[in-house]
Chain A
Amino acid sequence: MSKPSLIALNRRGFLAAGAAAAGTVSMPWVAGAQAKVVKVGFPTILSGRVAQLGTSSRNAAQMEVEKVNAAGGLAGRPIELVIRDTKGQPQEAARVARELVNSDGCEMLIDAEASTGAFAVHEVARDLGILCIHTNSETSSLTADPKLRLPNAFRCARQGIHDSVVGGSYAAEIANAKNLTRWATCSPDYAYGRDTTGEFVMYLKRFAPKVEVISEAWPKIFQPDYTESITKLLQAKPQALYSCLWGGDLTSFIDQAAIYALFTQMQFYAVNMADYTALTVVKNLPAGIHSGNRYIKTFPATPQNAAWGDAYRAKYGEYPTNWAWQNGLVINFLAEAAKKANSADGKKMADALRGLTIASPLGADGTVTMRAEDQTIIGYAVGWGTTIPKEPYVPEMKSVPWQRILELEAEWKKDKGFT
């Protein structure tokens, strides 16, 4: 009577015990695998007016993380991105960044925030001493100002001063050739707009001394109607117009200015035009707008860059943005730094990052360097060209050798009292 039940019990018991044993045996392995993951905090803007850029940052970072993880991760530990929305508010950015480190156990931060948020996250990095790489703030002082510098904070993004040197040289060359002396500017009225425009004009005048600025329009950021600025510019009758409006502001401005046939009356230099988010949105893109590169898959004109842009498009159904390449690149930097340090420890990786040069499709010569002295990237592709209304949008980009950019940047730093 007891025998059959004992056998039945044994069979079930055996199965149960087997499962339990398998569970117990695999437990440390599962736990070990979990402990091995390197969590990387990723605060960015996923809601509001610039959500599209935040989303593209996330997409590009994830795309590169998949590649890095397939190749063994950071010193054998796979990366896990912990992505949070900061709504573009600095206090929320600070809160989220702290929480990512303190509660979610992130060992490093990729700060994919716009400028004000980036400065708030910078203070969190100062407080917590954690490795933090800013990927979207283009404000030069974030890394140039020695008062703000931290050994554990880096920037993997383009910056205003580099763009201005190249833009100023490019525009001056055309101004000298075509005798364009009367210029106007129309830029958003906040720190980025004022600084970038000032620097552009400074270099333009330096390389084309005959240039004078006869009119300035400063529309508010996110302003829906530009009629006032447009009529002001038309009345001043400049030969050329510079603008650092960006995103939706730039596309609205172009659509509205086209109604007044503004672009037939003056040359237009818009540093932020050559980004797919802007190029594809303007209804009737006028030919011949001069623009700096943001992200464009034809510059640098290498198969690697085209392949990267196409891979992104195949995965997410749209082309990458300027924020996208910066956030893809930062993952490559982390992977190389971990390889060099042979560790995923933040401190060791920070040491490895200083002065690190990596191969990248976004590099002007196929490489990008994290400059040791101020921990920001140099050598990335930066150029200017004229647009056409269809792909490839900017057939030819002109650049300035990085050697020259660095010389002028050093002068600028000296003038600002940063060195």
Chain B
Amino acid sequence: MKRPALRDGLIGLAAFLILAALPLLTTSSALVDFVIRCAALGLFATSLNLLVGYGGMVSFGHGLFFGMGAYSFGIIMQRTGMPIPLAILLTLGVAAIVALAVGAICVRLKEIYFAFVTLAFQMLVHSMIIAWVPVTGGDQGLRGGIPRPSFLGINLADQKQLYLFSAALLVLGLMAMRHIVSSPFGYTLRLVRDNPARAGFLGIDVYRTRLTAFVLAGVFASLGGVLMSLFVSGAYPEFAFWTMSGEAVFIVMLGGTVAFLGPMVGTVLLLLLNDFVTRVAEHHGLVLGTVILLFALGLRKGLLDFVMDWRAARRTRAQAGADRPPGPNTIAGTDKMERVAT
């Protein structure tokens, strides 16, 4: 248990160092902006995958927590001006409480019912944001900018420092989630996903396991929302709209649910596609739609899953080749293999 944690820690540190070194290599502010957005959406999508990939709970209302994070943080900063780390912790606390309340109702439900009730809660919160004008600014969003007072010598009003801060939060967030899925709790969650009846017989509290996963996913999604609100210096009802949840589902489909970093790959892919396509084409929706169709119908899985399967298939084939001449069965067998997050 200790050594994988150490390995993940080292990988995380290396990833952060690489990200921190990036601005030294180029002066492009677009790259800096790109990584900040990747951090926000990457945390959001990876947290959704805690539910979808590891928990088997397909939530269509995950944008609720993303919006919640952006709004809570923005409102706290505008009204109290407390130090940013404290405001972030408070935001995560608010998200956890809301997730606990929503999850307590939703995680009892199965599949399509779960998906629809999470969607309903999201639309409820979205309507509240629109209607509660004195606090949220209604459909105009939280206006006037989010104050970003310096703390510990870090000035988030400076884009470079915001970049380092986002990169650090991204790496820490991913490492924390990685730790969660490789902990005994993570394995319990997978057991509950694969066979809740059996898990129950083994003495596992299925409801509690699901609820814990729901709350954890909500907390990390709200962290993504905090980063997005820092990036745009505001919060808008679109953050809590169903299209935001749709985007996360889209990202998870694009990157894959099996590999832990699948949603992160999906985020980079989607943002690259989005930025590139909107730049050159007027009918970008058509292009993005075609790409997702290719993934859904062509690859039938996310990109990272496809790559991993392909590597596994090659390894099996190489092994089979060493043992005996390759037969058609081996290849067909590996291709058909269903993979789930392990």
Contact = CB atoms under 8 A, between A and B. Distances in A.
A119 interface: yes
A292 B238 CA distance: 30
A116 B139 contact: yes
B138 A191 contact: yes
Interface stretch (A13-21, A88-96, A410-418): A88-96
B140 interface: yes
Given A47-B285, A191-B139, A89 B238 contact: yes
A90 B233 contact: no
Interface in A84-140: 84-85, 87, 89-91, 94-96, 98-99, 102-103, 115-116, 119-120, 122-124, 126-127, 139
A41 to B, nearest CB: 13
B71 interface: no
A126 B237 CA distance: 21
A148 B140 contact: no
B236 interface: yes
B236 A84 contact: no
A84 B279 contact: yes
B141 interface: yes
Contacts of A115: 140
B33 A116 contact: no
Nearest to A96: B278
Interface in B138-163: 138-141, 143-145, 157, 159
Interface in B148-184: 157, 159
A46 interface: yes
Contact of A90 (B30, B141, B283): B141
A190 interface: yes
A90 B138 contact: no
A178 interface: no
Given A116-B139, A116-B140, A91 B285 contact: no
Contacts of B238: 89-91, 116
B236 A103 contact: no
A139 B140 contact: yes
B282 A46 contact: yes
B29 to A, nearest CB: 4
A82 to B, nearest CB: 10
B143 A119 contact: yes
Contacts of B233: 94, 123-124, 126-127
A147 to B, nearest CB: 6
A246 to B, nearest CB: 15
A116 B157 CA distance: 22
A84 B143 CA distance: 23
Interface of A: 46-47, 84-85, 87, 89-91, 94-96, 98-99, 102-103, 115-116, 119-120, 122-124, 126-127, 139, 141, 147-148, 190-191
Interface of B: 28-30, 33, 37, 130, 133, 138-141, 143-145, 157, 159, 228, 231-234, 236-239, 275, 278-279, 282-285
Given A85-B278, A90-B234, A127-B233, 10 more contacts: A84-B278, A87-B278, A90-B141, A95-B33, A99-B33, A102-B28, A103-B29, A116-B140, A191-B138, A191-B140
* 7 shortest interchain CB distances as A-B pairs: A102-B29, A103-B30, A90-B236, A94-B232, A123-B233, A190-B139, A191-B138
